[in-house]
Each structure stands twice: as C-alpha cells, then as structure tokens.
Structure 1
C-alpha cells in the first residue's frame, strides 16, 4: 500500500472517528459536570462568565465525567513521569494484568485447539460437548469470577493463576469455535484425495486440516486475546487486588477518582490494541510464509 493510499484508507477514517469521539466526549463532560459547578458556584457565591464556567467544568478535581485533556494529563503523569516499576505507574499495573492475560490466553488457546480437534474427529463430542461449550458462555463472567476466586482460595491457590483461569474461561471459546470451522473447511475433493492415498487421520489433520485452519485460527485468536484481557481485569475485581488495571478501577471507584478510572480504562484499551495488533501481524507473517495472498 502506498503512502497516499495508507493516509486515505487508514489515517483519515480513523482520525475522523477519533475527532468525532473527542467532540462528543467534551460535550458530555460539560453537560454532566455543569450541574455540580452551578451548585458549587451558588454555594460559594461566585459569579463567572460563560467562558470561565466552561473552563471550570473542564478542570474539576473529581468530575462526574473527566474531560479528555484531564485523562491525557493523568496518563502522561502516571506513565512517563514515574518509574515503570513504581506502584503509581500505569505501566506497572498494565504489566501485572498483562501477565495474567498472556498465561490465560495460552491456556485458553491450547484448550480451544484440543477441544476443536476432538469435536472434529469424535462425532459424539460434536453432539454432546459443543452445546455445553456454547451454554457456558451465556453465564455472566461477573458471576463466575468470584466463584473461581473463592474456590481456589479455599485450597490455597492465589495470585496469578486464578486470574489466568478466568481469562482461560473467556478465551477458549472463540478459539474452539474458530478452529472447528477451520478444521472442517478443506474441500471434500481434497479429503477424498488424501483418503485415496490411504492417509491416516493424523496425516489428514497435520497435512490438510491444520494448514486450512490457519486463517480461522488467527482470526479467532484476535477475539480470544481481547477476551482474555477482559477476563484478567474482571478477575482482579473480586480479589481486592492491590496491583493491576482492575485494582486501579477499584481504587478509583472507592475514592471517586473518575480521572484515574478513565486513565486505567484507556491504559487497558492501549494494551488490548497492542495485543490484537501483535496477533494480526503474526497471522499475516504466517499466512505469507504459507503462500496466502495478503489484502
């Protein structure tokens, strides 16, 4: 893609949406902060011009809705002006959550692939296991997370593993469903040709089904790794964690620090974008090595 095409096809649409979001955000910040500011000015007998009132709604220490520049200032302060290993740093808290995310994602991916292979090769699993897998995802994660934490704490398992298991619970499903579709994607003529050469089920799997499933695998992994991050953050909430993005959200809610809450959410979004982008780049590399055409 040429530089001009990249700007027209990627930067302009993304930049336009970002500008719209910022405008709506500022309008919402003014609308939600204005009632408190009017009440505060009335109680303190302060008279402001329209511009001064607008600026006051955008600079409250504990606003109902923080303005974008307040969140950006908080992100700058807690990422670039403190040491990365400091407990005040969002980099430190992001790393704590990221470690649980990656462990849960690895376990979820392995579990999803194993389930998919079993479903494709064992018809009984297709009829019995797949409906239960789908049903499991209808249970709210906020209901499951405290149960997992409490049960594992009862047997002395704490720390990283409980959060990783919650991530596993959310991430295995898209991998399993995507791989089932991918493993079943080879053309029937190709399957018949392999059987003509007396290929075993293992040879069919390794030489035909798995290569055909690679595009499906990486597509499902992009969904799974984002779900895994959500699981890690949710897993930090019922534990009263002292580190991680979830702990920042809890602390912000306890002390009405809405700016900290939004900064933690943005930090989590940045981590998610980085993870999904890494999986996308890895998928493009693997597909290119396998001779697939790149869009």
Structure 2
C-alpha cells in the first residue's frame, strides 16, 4: 500500500518510463512539439512517485496538486478494484495541457515545472510550498522531465499581464483586514510565517506603509498566477469547493461562489485589469 492509501504501479514501471525518456543515439533536440506520449511515459510517473510520507516536501506531487488550485492542477486519480491508482488517457491529456503551460519548450532551465522542486543551489526557484525534491539536475526524474522539454521546438508565448501594485496596496490589502460575519480576518492567520502575506501592522497604525505593502505584494504574488484566476491560490484557497475552490483551507471560506463581487474584483486584477474596489460589506451594495 502506498502513502496515498492505495496501491500504486510497481517501481519498475517508473524505471522503465525514465529509461524510455533518454534520447536515442544521434537524436537531435528541439525538433518536435511537446510530445504527449513521451510526457505520459516519462513525466506523469514523477507526479506519482513516493516522497517518503505525508506533509510538505514528503508526499507524492499528486497528493497536493490534485486537491489545490495551483498552476499545476492535476486530475484526481482513479482506482482499480485491486487498489491500483492511475489516470485515464483523457485525464492524462488534461494534465498534459496544464503541464505544457508550465514549461518553456526547448528550455528546461527556464521552465517553471522544473525549477519549483529543484534546490536553489542547483538553480531552482526560491520558493515551493511542497518543498524541494531534486538536489541536482543529475537526478533521474529531473533529467526525464528536462529531456522531454529539451526535445521540443521553442515556442514564443505572450508575456503574462502585469499585476497593478497600486491597486493591491489600496484595495486588495483592505480585504486582508475585512471581517465577514462569523469569520476571522485574513491577517489573523497570515501575518506571520512562510505564508505571511498580510504582515503585522505596528501598534501605532491601522494600515501598512509603502515598504510594508511592497513586502505583502511580493508574498502575495507567490499565490497569484497572472492571467489565470482559477490557477491562483489567493482566489481558490478561500473559495468553496463546490465553486471550484480548494478542497482544504485552514481558515474560513470567504466566497461561496465566483459570482461574489469581491472575487470578481480579484479575478479582474489577476487578469491585469484595474477594476473598481469592492471589499467586504461593499460587495453587498455593489461597491462605491
């Protein structure tokens, strides 16, 4: 039994998939689009690989990424009568579409998917909620993903929209302080720690200054995917699961629906717009 609570495919399947990812002698990189069959054989097994237990940095990637509204939003696993977990081909194609948005074809080092779980000394991203799995680029799993990306033709993609800092400072931060009936404010839980995007306000003030707002903005950006509201944890974590939100949130559910005016305001900001500021009670009256 795996730590997912059900049996997984034998380790030999993963080993065979990784071996299949090694280019044939004489193969030329960068001569094809991102390949689905190669992705399914060499990359998806990485998402299922056991990391030694539960919790950040220890559970299989799918444990979090099939349950949370992150950019890497995987399909939930299916299970056979024998307790073996798997994705159908249709599931894998949906996963492929998501994963393809997180890589830069032809450029493994510039691909978000490959940098997130790689240690910083090895060239990885500074922050990954789930921890770091790969100590170096020599790791067989990392190489399997890198070879898949390197084999694809480079594709020029439009730059993501810019998040307006002034709007964040003057409006989004107000939401962090707003208390909805029966709930606690965002700042109640998020003023400290690794997820502290609403830092403590000094006793002699009731709002953040410019420098503090810049710090909050930098932290908040970790939970926002510019241009993609439903891939942004700032918008999906407090959203009710029935409306597409994450299955778990340690705090209250601030929005029951994506029709909530406050949620719509944040979604517009994530898309690069500068909407009317609608926070808390203002949402019931249509804002200012």
Give your verdict on TM over 0.5: no
- TM class by shorter chain equals under 0.3
Normalising by structure 2, we get a TM-score of 0.23
Greater RCO between the two (CA within 8 Å, min separation 6)? 1
Structure whose alpha-carbon radius of gyration is higher? 1
